[in-house]
Amino acid sequence: DQQVKQNSPSLSVQEGRISILNCDYTNSMFDYFLWYKKYPAEGPTFLISISSIKDKNEDGRFTVFLNKSAKHLSLHIVPSQPGDSAVYFCAADTGTASKLTFGTGTRLQVTL
């Protein structure tokens, strides 16, 4: 039972363009969402988060959008840079801060 889904295993984007990574969830109890970035042989690194009381959170080149009615969130990276090439994981929490449920990840490749 995959409660957090990232249906695109990979994405290729040209440098300078926008990268859009998508995530869907099924558990309506989730109320806090996070994006993590992972380079090979490293642990996931926190990128940006959003609480369910908001529909948008922005931090520099990174913006996360949340559509609660559709149980969908997306991460926008603009402009994309080669250093953004990594695997991105969407994660969700029920607000208890006791565990995260992760998606399977999307591998982003930013080409020159």
Determine if 62 is a binding residue for other proteins (CB under 8 A). Answer: no
CB 109 within 8 A of CB 13: yes
Q: Tell me the chain's radius of gyration from C-alpha atoms.
A: 13
Distances (CA, A) of 33 to 18, 64, 110: 21, 9, 24
Residue number with CB closer to other proteins (14 or 45): 45
Please identify which residue in 52, 74, 102, 109 interacts with other proteins, judged by CB under 8 A: 102
Calculate the alpha carbon distances from 6 to 53, 75, 79 in Å: 22, 12, 22
Give min distance, CB of 17 to other proteins, in A: 26
Nearest residue (CB) to other proteins, 15 versus 31: 31
Residue numbers at the binding site for other proteins (CB under 8 A): 4, 6, 32, 34, 36, 41-46, 49, 89, 91, 93, 95, 97-105
